[in-house]
Structures are given as C-alpha cells and as structure tokens.
Amino acid sequence: MEYLVHDSLQALEELIAINLSIHREQDQHRLLDKILSAARKITAAEAGCVQILDRTKRYLVPEILQGPTLEGGNNAFKTIDLKADRRGKQVDVGAYAMFSGQVVNIANAYKYSGFDFEQLYSNDLKHNYKTISILVIPLTDFQGVSIGVLQLFNRRVDDDSEPEEFPANMESLVKAFSAQAAVVISNTRLLEENRQLIEQLDQANQILEIENKSLRDSIDRRIKADEIIGDSPALQQVFALMEKVVSSKATVFITGETGTGKELIAACLHRNSPCSSGQFIAQNCAALPEELLESELFGYHKGAFTGAVTNKKGLIECADKGTLFLDEIGDMPMKLQAKVLRVLQESEVRPLGSTQSVKVDVRIVAATHQDLPKLIKEGKFREDLYYRLNVFPIHLPPLRERRQDLPALINHFLQEFSETYKKDIKGIKPIVMDLLQAYALPGNIRELRNIIERAVLLADEQGIIDVHHLPAEINELQKITLLEQNISDATGGLKEIMHQLEARVIAQQLEKHQGNQTTTAATLGVSRRSLVEKLSRYQLRNMDQLSMN
C-alpha cells in the first residue's frame, strides 16, 4: 500500500524528506496538499482533510480533501462558524481541537458520542463506506498560534486489513510534524499576503497621491479649516463638498448628530465665503421659547409688546452682508417657520410691531440632528421650508464613523485644557486611548471634549490621564479590554490560554448560580459530569462546599 509505514525509523526518514519538500513550496494550495499527503504517509491514514482559519479568524474552512470518499464535490466537510460554535458546547471535532490545542484520537466514530459526526455518517452512507478511526491534530506553531487543524481517517496497515485505531505513541510524532507544517503554512501565507498588500498599496498610493494632492491643493486654496480637526476619508468628503459651495452665497443645510461640530462647519463656510466681511451670527432655535426666539430673530419696534421700550434689530438684520446660522432648525415652531420662509423667498425681514419690511442680504446656513422628512409627515415641519433650506446639503458624520480622527482630537483637547487650567499633563495612557476608541461616544465631539476636560481637571500636576479619570460608562469597557490584554500578555500555548479562560468563565457562572452545579452546567451547555471534572481539574473550589442540586 502507498501509505504503509514499516517502522519508526522509516517514519523519521519520511519526516525529514517531507520537511525539506514542504519548506521549498511557496504555493499555499500545493503546500497544504503536500502536508496532508505527508501526514497520511506517516500515519498510514486512508483519507484526510486540512481545515484552515480564514483571514477573519471566525471560520474554519476545508481547504484540502484526500481519500476515496472525500475528493470531489461532497458535503462531508462544511465551513465551521467558530463564533457560533463558541456560544455553546463545541460539537465540531475540528473546532474543539483548534480551540483546545489538544490532539483528538477516536478509535471508533460510530461508538463515540462526544462530537457531532452527522455529516461524516451521511457521507459514508452515500459512498457505502465506514469511517472508523479519526485523528485530529491542531496546526499550532511554536508560539501557540493556531491556524487550523489536520484530520486523518481510517488507519490501514495494508489493503486487506480493517481500519484500526491510530496508536497513541504516534500522536507526538504527528503533532511535531504539524507544528513544523503550521510554521511553514503561516510563513507561506504571510509571504503571499505581503506580496498582495505591496501590490495593492503601490496601486492605492499612486491613486491617493494624485487625489490627495488635487484635493489638498484645492482645499488649501479655497478653505481655511484650521479649527476642524481630522483627516479621515469621511471628513475629507465634507471638505470636498464645502469646497464646491464655499465661493457662493447658496443656502447650506447641515445634518448630523448632536455634537458633531455643525456650527464649526458653518463658521468655516462663512470665513471662506464672499460673506466673510459681514458678521457670523449663530442662534440655537431650540434654546428659546417661541415668542422670545421670534423677537431675537426679527427684532421689534418700540411698543410692539409690553417691555419693548425701544427699537431693536433682530439677528437676521444684524447678519446683513454676513451669515446667519440657524442651529437645530427642526425644533423651530411652525409659526416662525413661515416667517423664515418669507425671509428666504423675499430677502426681507419685518420687525415685530412694524409695517415696513427691511431688505437684507444674508446667507442662511441651517442645521439639525432631526429627520426632517419624518417631521414633515408628522405635520411638525413645513415641506416648503425644507426644500428652501435643502439647496446644498452637507451631512456631517458621527465620530464613530471617523475614529481615525480620535487621536488628533484627543491630543488637541488635552493641549487646550492643559493650557486653560495651567496643568502640565504629560500624556495619556494607551489603555485610555483604547477605551475611548471602543466607546460609542453618542455625544460625539462635544462629549469627547467634556471627557478630556474632566480628565485634565482630575489628573495630578505633571501626571498622566489614566482610566480612573474617565466617566463610569467608559470604565465598563475596561473589563473587556483587560481580558483582551490578559490574553495578549499570556505566556504558553493556546491550550494553556484556553484553559485559563475556561476556568475563569466556569468560576464566574458558578458564583452567579450560587454554587449550583446543575444550573451552571445547563448555562454553559455541558453535562454536569463534565462540569465536575473541570472543577476538579482547575481546582476552582472545594467540592464539599458546592451545592449538589
């Protein structure tokens, strides 16, 4: 038989020859095929499969199938969703071996109930075949990084013999070979990825160099946006739109969540527009009651109402030859919406108590965080005013869509408040930066600014911004970050790390269920017997203290 191995000396000779062969192979598909062929040769396996982690590290994908019933289009092996498999008991033997780092040696798949072999049984039935012995080896390199698994089926010492169990003393040899193979696979994959990345980067850099030069040159000529911090693609799109409208007096409608910096964009448009010689006046339409907002915007004449003892210009008239920024216009009362519409249509304003209109040359920039089309359907906003405002819309993205701008914003605010409060803050800890990157920041730039101001106030002179200087809602994220940090700092192989995490989860669930083993086992999706074995293995708690319910 082709895969017959007579003794351990021949196996070692085969291993040396195989290592030389696979180290010279650079094509990943051919490399995996050689590795599987070599593993079958060493173990006298009749068939086999190599499953490799995809780039997202979420799916275990069957890459190479060998053997009389596996080759060709069949459903014996499907892509395994590792995230789904993590939720409960790991029923796939490949996923279990990869997560645990342990070799799985099964003497008879039809008498073993620990894993789900339904796909294998179905394939056997289809081909009038019977898979008996199974050997699953994690492809784990010497640093404990797992990239997949190697599965071998039906060891036969000759053509006429029945399938037999893979000897236990063969496991260490195959595991050593698999570790070597994993290193070669990782290196081959890395070389291929690097080659592709270099090609992609070269192409992208050429395109970006041309586009960025053109865009930056245009923005530098037309827009002075020093107060707007960031250089993300999302913000670059905003700059590109601003460049299109900055030289005109067209009405601009800025949308975006609260705290995204809509007033900064409006002020930037004003400074770079033909209206820059006039005033930039901002009014929040949600900040004043209807009567007061009306008098602020339109002004009044003496005697127009009780307390009007003199004439007063409104903000619209004061913004003549300049820019009026109406923030949160979605909150403007319907009565005032009609009067603002007239200003946009006729370019004139009539103060309260006056019979004469005053001509104005004012650019209107409006903004809102609300969904105005929805308000129109609800009868809370005038459709005609919406179309008058929506001449040139600019959507300002939330901070979560431009997270690469966070470091620059954080450092800007850190410097600003260090100077404001005359405190020499030395810097910010990496964990704080990580937490801020992970936090949703529903209040966007305004919330981030407040967070940094508070942190500077709490920090010691010549100190560093630390986790305890952050608000409580961000500190909740620290638990996840610390867990990731513990994993990245852990020593040893994947097996040891998985055991540590497993022990921690079991201990937490056991404490949550007050020592009740049955409830804890059900929550974790394992049998009570399996849970007891793990409690004993990890020495989590004195067994006599546990509830036996």
CATH code (residue 165)? 3.30.450.40
The answer to whether residue 207 is domain-embedded is no
In angstroms, the first-to-last Cα distance of the chain is: 56
Lowest-confidence region among 86-100, 172-186, 208-222, 404-418 = 208-222
- Quote the distance between the C-alpha of residue 325 and its chain's center: 35
Do residues 178 and 220 lie in contact, with contact meaning Cβ atoms separated by under 8 Å?
Answer: no
Highest mean pLDDT among 57-66, 175-184, 396-405: 396-405
Number of domains in the chain: 4
Q: Which among 347, 366, 397 is the end of a domain? A: 397
Q: Helix or strand or coil: residue 369? A: coil
Are 251 and 172 part of one and the same domain?
Answer: no
Q: For 291-315, what is the mean pLDDT?
A: 89
Are 248 and 335 part of one and the same domain?
Answer: yes
Are 264 and 384 part of one and the same domain?
Answer: yes
Q: Which among 397, 430, 458 is the end of a domain? A: 397
Indicate whether 336 pLDDT > 70: yes
Would you tell me how many other CB atoms lie within 10 Å of the CB of residue 288?
14
DSSP H helical segments within 59-170, as ranges? 82-87, 93-100, 118-127
User: Is 366 or 171 the better-scoring residue by pLDDT?
Assistant: 366
The answer to whether residue 261 is domain-embedded is yes
Stated as kind and residue range, the H or E segment containing 399 is: none
Taking alpha carbons only, the member of 192, 155, 234, 184 closest to residue 401 is 234
The answer to whether residue 265 is domain-embedded is yes
Note down the domain range covering 407.
401-474
Q: What is the pLDDT of residue 388?
A: 95
CATH number (domain holding residue 519): 1.10.10.60
Would you tell me how many other CB atoms lie within 10 Å of the CB of residue 172?
10
Distant-in-sequence, close-in-space partners of 257: CB < 8 Å, separation ≥ 6: 369, 398, 442, 444
Could you give the CA distance from residue 269 to residue 324 in angstroms, rounded to a whole number?
11
Lowest-confidence region among 81-85, 283-287, 324-328, 524-528 = 81-85
What is the Cα gyration radius of the chain? 35
Are 58 and 169 part of one and the same domain?
Answer: yes
Are 266 and 353 part of one and the same domain?
Answer: yes
The answer to whether residue 367 is domain-embedded is yes
Do residues 314 and 349 lie in contact, with contact meaning Cβ atoms separated by under 8 Å?
Answer: yes
Please name every residue paired with 465 in a beta bridge, in sequence order, or none if there are none. Answer: 428
Are 432 and 303 part of one and the same domain?
Answer: no
Taking alpha carbons only, the member of 240, 326, 236 closest to residue 282 is 326
Q: For 413-424, what is the mean pLDDT?
A: 92
Do residues 261 and 373 lie in contact, with contact meaning Cβ atoms separated by under 8 Å?
Answer: no
User: Is 34 or 87 the better-scoring residue by pLDDT?
Assistant: 34
Q: Helix or strand or coil: residue 47? A: strand
Indicate whether 13 pLDDT > 50: yes
Indicate whether 24 pLDDT > 80: no
Share of residues in the chain with pLDDT > 70 (%): 81
Q: What is the pLDDT of residue 4?
A: 40
Would you tell me how many other CB atoms lie within 10 Å of the CB of residue 282?
18
Q: pLDDT-based confidence at 74, cuts 50/70/90? A: low
Q: pLDDT-based confidence at 234, cuts 50/70/90? A: very high
Q: What is the pLDDT of residue 2?
A: 41
Could you give the CA distance from residue 116 to residue 104 in angstroms, rounded to a whole number?
14
The answer to whether residue 284 is domain-embedded is yes
Highest mean pLDDT among 47-56, 225-234, 385-394: 385-394
The answer to whether residue 217 is domain-embedded is no
Each residue's pLDDT tens digit, 371-414: 999 999 999 999 999 999 999 999 999 999 998 999 999 999 99
Mean pLDDT of the chain: 82
Q: What is the pLDDT of residue 392?
A: 96
Q: What is the pLDDT of residue 60?
A: 86
Q: pLDDT-based confidence at 502, cuts 50/70/90? A: confident
Q: What is the pLDDT of residue 304?
A: 80
Q: Which among 353, 375, 397 is the end of a domain? A: 397
Q: What is the pLDDT of residue 545?
A: 39
The answer to whether residue 218 is domain-embedded is no
Q: What is the pLDDT of residue 21?
A: 60
Are 448 and 336 part of one and the same domain?
Answer: no
Could you give the CA distance from residue 268 to residue 228 in angstroms, rounded to a whole number?
8
Nearest 5°: the CA angle 374, 380, 381 is: 80
Q: Residue 70 has what DSSP assignment?
A: T
Lowest-confidence region among 44-58, 351-365, 375-389 = 44-58
Do residues 405 and 399 lie in contact, with contact meaning Cβ atoms separated by under 8 Å?
Answer: yes
User: Is 384 or 59 the better-scoring residue by pLDDT?
Assistant: 384
Q: pLDDT-based confidence at 105, cuts 50/70/90? A: very high
Are 304 and 374 part of one and the same domain?
Answer: yes
Q: pLDDT-based confidence at 309, cuts 50/70/90? A: confident
Are 272 and 300 part of one and the same domain?
Answer: yes
Q: Helix or strand or coil: residue 520? A: helix
Are 249 and 323 part of one and the same domain?
Answer: yes
Lowest-confidence region among 470-484, 485-499, 513-527 = 485-499
Indicate whether 351 pLDDT > 60: yes
Predicted model pTM: 0.50
Indicate whether 425 pLDDT > 70: yes
Could you give the CA distance from residue 52 to residue 186 in angstroms, rounded to a whole number?
11
CATH number (domain holding residue 435): 1.10.8.60
Are 317 and 414 part of one and the same domain?
Answer: no
3-state helix, strand, coil in the chain (%, to 5): 50, 15, 35
The answer to whether residue 144 is domain-embedded is yes
Pairing of strands 104-106, 134-140: antiparallel
DSSP H helical segments within 299-346, as ranges? 315-318, 334-346
- Residue in the block written with tokens 């910096």: 261
Q: For 81-88, what is the mean pLDDT?
A: 60
CA distances from residue 121 to 73, 111, 355 in whole angstroms, order as listed: 16, 12, 91
Q: What is the pLDDT of residue 461?
A: 84
Q: What is the pLDDT of residue 454?
A: 94
Q: Residue 305 has what DSSP assignment?
A: S
User: Is 24 or 432 the better-scoring residue by pLDDT?
Assistant: 432
Could you give the CA distance from residue 64 to residue 29 in angstroms, rounded to a whole number?
8
Please name every residue paired with 60 in a beta bridge, in sequence order, or none if there are none. Answer: 53, 80
Do residues 229 and 408 lie in contact, with contact meaning Cβ atoms separated by under 8 Å?
Answer: yes
Looking at residue 463, its amino acid is G
- Residue in the block written with tokens 């799109």: 237
Are 269 and 328 part of one and the same domain?
Answer: yes
Taking alpha carbons only, the member of 208, 205, 206 closest to residue 216 is 208
